[in-house]
Amino acid sequence: MNDTAASPHGGLQRGPGAGQYELHGALTLGTVAGLREQGRETFARSSGPIVVNLGKVERADSGGLALLVDWLAWAQLARRELKFTALPAALLALARVSDVEDLLAGR
């Protein structure tokens, strides 16, 4: 089973350990549509806590922020733990302005 949603602009890939994933490339309005359901389906097939590393995200905008908030809402409904690591500065700035920084940081 391949848990990868990839495009020339960005994607979600399985990380090095169980429940670990990596986002890479652009996380923008133009790239997140396919990632929403792919992420939910991929996460649903895993067990235990989910950790998504954003260290390889090169560009992010409000679409990327909306995707992360959507995944957090899914995780809450599914009673799953979801954490984001290595959030890019641009995404943190958007989260701060949108008053969701604590949500993304797991606080």
Taking residues 35-48, report their average pLDDT. 93
Question: What tens digit of pLDDT does each residue of 70-106 get?
Answer: 999 999 999 999 999 999 999 999 999 999 998 888 7
Distance, CA of 95 to CA of 92 (rounded, Å): 5
**pLDDT (0 to 100) of residue 105:** 82
Please state which CATH class domain 9-104 belongs to.
Answer: alpha beta
Q: Indicate the domain borders of the chain.
A: 9-104
Triad 64, 70, 72: Cα angle to 5° = 110
Question: How does pLDDT run across 4-21, given as a tens digit for each residue?
Answer: 444 445 689 999 888 999
> Taking a C-beta distance cutoff of 8 angstroms, is the pair 26, 9 a contact?
yes
Check whether 50 has a pLDDT greater than 90: yes
